[in-house]
Amino acid sequence: MGRFRQLKTYITVVLAAAAVTVPTLSLLAQISDPALDLRNLDMNTPACLDFYQFANGGWIAGNPVPAAYPFWGSFNELQNRTDEALRDLLTEATQHPLGSTEQKVGLFYTTCVQADAVEQRGAAPLVATLTNLDAITDQSGLQAEIARLHDEGLTPLFSLRTAPDPQDSSTAIAHLSPDGLGLPDRNYYTRTDEASEQTRRAYVAHICRSFILLGVPDGEARKDANIVLSIETQLAQASMSLVDQRNPDQVTHLMKLTDLQALTPRFDWSAYCQRRGISTLTHLNVRQPAFFQAVDTLLDRVPLAEWPVYLKWQLVLRALPYLSDAFVEEQQRMNQVVEGSKELLPRWKRCVAHTQTLLGQAAGQLYAHHSLSAEAKQRALTLVGNVKAALRASIEKLDWLSEPTRMQALAKLDALVEKVGYPDRWLDYTSLMMSEGSFYDNVIRAATFATRRDVAMIGKPVDRTEWVLPPTLVNAYYDAAQNEIVVPAGILQPPLFNIAADDAVNYGSIGAVIGHELSHGFSDRGRQYDAKGNQRDWWTPEDTARFSARAKSVAQQFDSSPVTVGFRVNGELTLGENLADFAGLTVAYRALEETLRGKLADKRDGFTPEQRFFLGWAQVWCWNVRPEALRAMVLTNAHAPNNWRVNGPLANMPAFAQAFGCQPSDPMVRAENERARIW
Ligand SMILES: [Zn+2]
């Protein structure tokens, strides 16, 4: 799991965190009944040879990826159940009092599922903006249009978002980031392998066809598509790699607006701020100054006549899923290239996904208390408490940590805030107006509401009640700047969390996920923030060196993990998540041992509690994945592919070898001198 990131256009970034969802098949047969479904196992593969296959082989063989999906696994199953409940709730939501949040989100969904009205309007909703873009005649006009598109939630060239001040996490400031690419990441533009070349050719064809759908003549559309690729490639080349961005210091450059103005003389920041309604802005974090210098150069070097073409594409790209079928299908053609999905989801499923993307907190409010009983919430909170206590015990005992760092680590853990289920306070949607007419207009209204609300928080105290993820999402996160973990109701469902199941399975599944999130605060990135969420180094140099050496051994283990022909796991990119998996499993296992202490440890389904713990972890990550999606994941995702998330950390754990009686020579047991030891 990770800090929620803006979804890129084509790919479901964080595994299962994406709002894209839901098949019709019920794939994990009756998953809510047994804690472990023995049919999911592959008894022909020894547990000590390949535990992922042993635990999930039966499921993998019986559950191919449905046509509309890039991958399919237990997270999809959970999201599917939530989405079906949301569909029913959204369908009836327009009956809530006029002007209520429920009524507004219901209206949004209703205008989305009304296919005939959407079809009839075709590309008409874009005409006014396209006309404005055609009317650009100078730099000032160009920059005015960029600001206007940003206000509507688009992100040509860059994005401006509000987040805590790295030096004072209680105050929100503006952060400027590179943006404005149509492909998932910079390396889609810069890599020279055949698959990457092919994807770029498909992308140009996709831009071209989309412009033709808008009525642009063939020859001109082809020329325009190449202009777009050229501009985006230059933006990609000027931006940092995902690995470099993982270091908080590398993306923290606090400066005055006047400094930024001096750095980028061709972009009029004061006019931009005026247009965004933030003319009082005086200082901000420019995450990648070199990128903005490059943009400044591009503003001069790219002919003025080419900029409207790029902006039009940014508009169309974002609009594709919300327009008539021809546009939606065009987007699906490109999705197929990038992530492998072979057909569109049914309309209602797409509409539920759009609702969660654009009005996630409103949908969450509607869904609140739908599935999470008071008893389940209490049990989840107990689990969090026990796993946290195990992490505390672990920090108290670590032999490689000096006393000064240990004291600060414990203070940070004690200050950590846990949020489970739903936010205590719901977002105020009073100023959001929804229309009964045009779905696309409602999309723009919802997006504009979000950007205006976001920039209005600049300079204000950070609202600690706010959630970054909608509560309906199947995911969890640690927010370093708030020193908090958030476990939404969406993930508190079987098989990840099952109140009918024994402790062993729950500690292995949701317990280890909670341990994963808690440990992020002490992982390679998270440890660079203090108890208050300020970016500050509180480790002694010796402790930093010892931690880094231990972390490096994990990076090396994953670096040598093959994924698919020509692709290996990127140990640096996935380091933080792999450390969190390892730590989460270690502390959740200790919490289970603590819970079992003094109790009779009976076998169930033929497995000991210790074995069931590890089976619980493995079944969290069972999946099937298309090669395109796997490739995209390795290139862009901070999480390793699922089989490595299971086998990687377990091979470091003596408790695993002991539970299944593995021998030192078995593949699931790392040699003593290669074994990682951290927590
Ligand atoms: Zn994570």
What's the gap in Å between 573 CA and the centre of ligand 1? 12
Q: What is the DSSP letter of 605?
A: T
What's the gap in Å between 3 CA and the centre of ligand 1? 7
Q: In this structure, are residues 618 and 55 in contact, taking their beta carbons and an 8 Å threshold?
A: yes
**What whole-number percentage of the chain has pLDDT above 90?**
86
What's the gap in Å between 572 CA and the centre of ligand 1? 14
Q: What pLDDT is recorded for position 2?
A: 36
pLDDT 10s digits, 136-165 = 999 999 999 999 999 999 999 999 999 999
What's the gap in Å between 517 CA and the centre of ligand 1? 6
Residue with tokens 């996709």: 206
Here the tokens at position 242 are 């995902």
What's the gap in Å between 651 CA and the centre of ligand 1? 19
pLDDT 10s digits, 294-318 = 999 999 999 999 999 999 999 999 9
Q: What pLDDT is recorded for position 468?
A: 85
Mean pLDDT of the chain: 92
Q: How far apart are CA 46 and CA 419, in angstroms?
A: 39
What's the gap in Å between 120 CA and the centre of ligand 1? 44
Q: What is the DSSP letter of 420?
A: E
Average pLDDT over residues 117-133: 97
Angle at 6 between CA 514 and CA 310, to 5 degrees: 165
What's the gap in Å between 511 CA and the centre of ligand 1? 14
pLDDT 10s digits, 455-477 = 999 999 999 999 988 999 899 99
The 3-state DSSP class for residue 81 equals helix
What's the gap in Å between 417 CA and the centre of ligand 1? 16
Residue ranges of the alpha helices (H) in 65-173? 74-92, 101-113, 115-121, 127-134, 139-151
Residue 359 pLDDT greater than 70, yes or no:
yes
What's the gap in Å between 1 CA and the centre of ligand 1? 4
**What whole-number percentage of the chain has pLDDT above 70?**
94
What's the gap in Å between 594 CA and the centre of ligand 1? 24
Q: What pLDDT is recorded for position 3?
A: 32
Phi/psi at 562 (nearest 5 deg)?
-70, 145
Residue 19 pLDDT greater than 50, yes or no:
no
Q: What is the pTM of this model?
A: 0.92
CATH 1.10.1380.10, the chain: domain bounds: 123-322
More confident residue, 491 or 6: 491
What's the gap in Å between 2 CA and the centre of ligand 1? 4
CATH 3.40.390.10, the chain: domain bounds: 40-87+362-426+436-459+466-660
Q: What pLDDT is recorded for position 296?
A: 98
pLDDT 10s digits, 626-663 = 999 999 999 999 999 999 999 999 999 999 999 999 99
What's the gap in Å between 581 CA and the centre of ligand 1? 8
How does residue 368 score in pLDDT terms, banded at 50, 70 and 90? confident
Average pLDDT over residues 1-19: 29
What's the gap in Å between 252 CA and the centre of ligand 1? 21
Q: What pLDDT is recorded for position 362?
A: 96
What's the gap in Å between 199 CA and the centre of ligand 1? 29
Q: How far apart are CA 519 and CA 416, in angstroms?
A: 11
Give Cα separations from 123 to 139, 210, 380, 477 (angstroms).
Answer: 27, 11, 47, 38
What's the gap in Å between 483 CA and the centre of ligand 1? 14
Provide the CATH topology of domain 40-87+362-426+436-459+466-660. Collagenase (Catalytic Domain) (3.40.390)
Phi/psi at 411 (nearest 5 deg)?
-65, -40
DSSP readout, 635-668?
Answer: HH-SSPPHHHHHHHHHTT-HHHHHHHT--TTSTT
Backbone dihedral region of 598: left (phi > 0), alpha (psi from -120 to 50 degrees) or beta? left
Q: How far apart are CA 452 and CA 359, in angstroms?
A: 14
What's the gap in Å between 448 CA and the centre of ligand 1? 30
How does residue 564 score in pLDDT terms, banded at 50, 70 and 90? low
What's the gap in Å between 639 CA and the centre of ligand 1? 8
Provide the CATH topology of domain 123-322. Neutral endopeptidase; domain 2 (1.10.1380)
What's the gap in Å between 579 CA and the centre of ligand 1? 9
What's the gap in Å between 46 CA and the centre of ligand 1? 29
Residue 238 pLDDT greater than 90, yes or no:
yes
Burial letters 123-136, b for 16+ CB under 10 A, else e = bebbeebbebbeeb
More confident residue, 4 or 418: 418
Q: How far apart are CA 232 and CA 13, in angstroms?
A: 20
Average pLDDT over residues 348-377: 92
pLDDT 10s digits, 242-262 = 999 999 999 999 999 999 999
